[in-house]
Amino acid sequence: MKWSLLLLTTAAAINCLVGVAAGAPERYWQTGTCTDAGVMRDLTVGQGRVGSRPFGPPSPANPPTVPEVATYVIETQDDRVEVKDILPVGAGSLNLIVGDRVMFAITKKTVYIRDAKGHEYRFRLTKKTPKRMNSR
């Protein structure tokens, strides 16, 4: 009796997991080229370094710290996509160089970029414009 209950519970759990995985929409992955890479300061991201700003007004000894985030421009054959990292630049950041081939997917205002090892990084879509076609 115990084995049949355990088997039934395990089967139900596997069924639920398969149903959740099958229900997730697949992302549309595209290939592009990184044409610009930079860093900007962004007040909307993180809090900077721990202990970088004490309570009270900033002083010359402890100036306020604004986190830096990576920005990239990715071009495909049809579009120009500008993205901004959602986390401060650090050890776990994606480091793209101008000219790198990029695998990316866009979902609403989120851009997912895959590195060569298959890890995915999340970015905020800041601008997407169609490239102008040369009319001759």
The span from the CA of 26 to the CA of 58, in Å, is 47
Per-residue pLDDT, 54 = 53
Q: Which residue from 50, 45, 38, 87 is spatially nearest to 66, judged by alpha carbons? A: 45
The span from the CA of 81 to the CA of 64, in Å, is 31
pLDDT at 128 over 70: yes
The span from the CA of 70 to the CA of 90, in Å, is 10
Read off the pTM: 0.67
Per-residue pLDDT, 43 = 77
Per-residue pLDDT, 25 = 72
Helix, strand, coil share (%) of the chain residues, nearest 5: 15, 40, 45
Per-residue pLDDT, 1 = 58
First to last CA, the chain: 79
* pLDDT tens column, 81-127: 999 988 888 877 888 889 999 999 999 999 999 988 889 999 999 99
* pLDDT tens column, 46-89: 654 555 555 556 666 666 677 888 899 999 999 999 999 888 88
Q: What is the CA radius of gyration of the chain?
A: 22
